[in-house]
């Protein structure tokens, strides 16, 4: 008899590989651990994975920049690329500083900030009640509303940082997404309108209402959308615009400072 679980994990790996999972061995280990080394439970999880269901929904969590985030079925799975935006937001957050995270999903960005030591108010919003519940399960203060509609008005011009990973896929590109994304993740998390910038523009437009002068806006987007949005941000009165790069060095958004003193 070999070490406990080796044979079982090998069998799970074979099934996952046959189902097209690229990182079958790692996924088998994650499933085995999430199933508490219970063969029947692990087999049931693999059966779900064989249908293409996201691994994070099955095991209930994902590593996001070194922080464990709970992810409920139906909620957008935080992407590793977004950890770059979260790390940049952390750098812009002063001691005790505040952050408004629009389109918070699982609350990955504020949960990351909290885990890395942020002590001030971190507020998320999302239109999807399942996402709001998930964000709360990650310890994030979350409001269910569209963008900023229910953020208390007494918080106007009070936030040090405003982050948003909004839906930014051009509608015409939705059918081209990988099947596991297209068939499983909610369209409301992906659909950015005709050219993908609809929600991005809304967020850039509303950010000055919530940021204090000198506060920072950080937005994730496709590389081809950055020029349009940085032009818009500069036109609104943001300065110190700089492009953010993900862990592979690819452009994934920008940060900009709210420079207006005319409040």
Q: With beta carbons less than 8 A apart as the criterion, state whether 127 and 67 touch.
A: no
Structure tokens given for 210: 């919530």
**Identity of the residue, 46 or 62, whose beta carbon is nearer to ligand SAM in the bound complex:** 62
**Considering the complex, what minimum distance in angstroms separates the CB of residue 95 from ligand SAM?**
24
Q: For ligand SAM, which stretch binds (CB under 6 A), given 32-40, 49-57, 152-160, 164-172? A: 164-172
**Identity of the residue, 16 or 134, whose beta carbon is nearer to ligand SAM in the bound complex:** 134
Nearest in space to 57 (alpha carbons), one of 42, 41, 75: 75
Q: Please tell me the distance from the alpha carbon of residue 48 to that of residue 34, in angstroms, as a whole number.
A: 14
Structure tokens given for 3: 């070490």
Q: With beta carbons less than 8 A apart as the criterion, state whether 195 and 112 touch.
A: no
Q: With beta carbons less than 8 A apart as the criterion, state whether 54 and 79 touch.
A: no
Angstrom CA distances, 159 to 50, 55, 92, 120, 238, stand at 44, 35, 11, 10, 15
φ/ψ of 53, rounded to 5, equals -55, 140
Q: Which of 35, 42, 56, 108 is in the footprint of ligand SAM by CB under 6 A? A: 108
**Considering the complex, what minimum distance in angstroms separates the CB of residue 12 from ligand SAM?**
27
Assess 192 for contact with ligand SAM (CB under 6 A): no
Assess 45 for contact with ligand SAM (CB under 6 A): no
Token pair 């950055």 in the structure block, residue: 226
Structure tokens given for 229: 């949005």
**Identity of the residue, 46 or 218, whose beta carbon is nearer to ligand SAM in the bound complex:** 218
Handedness of CA 220, 224, 225, 231 (dihedral sign): positive
**Considering the complex, what minimum distance in angstroms separates the CB of residue 10 from ligand SAM?**
33
Assess 137 for contact with ligand SAM (CB under 6 A): no
Assess 207 for contact with ligand SAM (CB under 6 A): no
**Considering the complex, what minimum distance in angstroms separates the CB of residue 38 from ligand SAM?**
29
Q: Which of 33, 68, 119, 146 is in the footprint of ligand SAM by CB under 6 A? A: 146
Residues numbered 167 to 186 that lie near ligand SAM (CB under 6 A) are 167
**Considering the complex, what minimum distance in angstroms separates the CB of residue 120 from ligand SAM?**
19
Q: With beta carbons less than 8 A apart as the criterion, state whether 107 and 82 touch.
A: no
Per-residue interface string for the shown chain with ligand SAM, residues 109-128, x marking contact by CB under 6 A: x---------------xxxx
Q: Which of 6, 188, 240, 263 is in the footprint of ligand SAM by CB under 6 A? A: 188
Structure tokens given for 132: 């709001």
Q: Please tell me the distance from the alpha carbon of residue 203 to that of residue 250, in angstroms, as a whole number.
A: 22
The residues binding ligand SAM (CB under 6 A) are 76, 78, 82, 103-106, 108-109, 125-128, 131, 146-147, 165-167, 188-189
């Amino acid at each position: 008899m070999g070490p406990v679980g080796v044979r079982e994990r090998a069998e799970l790996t074979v099934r996952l590989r046959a189902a097209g999972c690229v990182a079958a061995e790692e996924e088998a280990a994650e499933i085995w651990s999430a199933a508490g080394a219970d063969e029947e439970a692990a087999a049931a999880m693999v059966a779900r994975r064989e249908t293409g269901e996201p691994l994070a929904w099955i095991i209930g969590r994902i590593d996001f920049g070194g922080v464990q985030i709970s992810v409920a079925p139906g909620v957008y799975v935080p992407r590793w690329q977004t950890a770059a935006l979260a790390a940049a937001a952390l750098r812009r957050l002063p001691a005790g500083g505040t952050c408004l995270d629009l389109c918070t999903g699982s609350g990955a960005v504020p949960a990351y900030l909290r885990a890395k030591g942020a002590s001030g108010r971190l507020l998320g919003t999302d239109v999807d009640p399942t996402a709001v519940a998930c964000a709360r399960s990650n310890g994030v203060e979350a409001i269910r509303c569209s963008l900023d509609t229910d953020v208390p008005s007494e918080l106007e011009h009070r936030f040090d940082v405003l982050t948003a990973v909004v839906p930014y896929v051009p509608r015409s590109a939705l059918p081209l997404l990988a099947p596991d994304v297209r068939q499983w993740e909610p369209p409301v998390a992906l659909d950015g309108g005709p050219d993908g910038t609809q929600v991005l523009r809304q967020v850039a437009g509303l950010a000055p209402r919530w940021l204090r002068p000198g506060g920072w806006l950080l937005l994730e987007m496709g590389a081809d959308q950055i020029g349009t949005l940085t032009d818009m941000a500069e036109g609104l009165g943001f300065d110190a615009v700089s492009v953010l790069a993900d862990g592979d060095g690819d452009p994934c958004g920008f940060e900009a400072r709210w420079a207006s003193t005319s409040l």
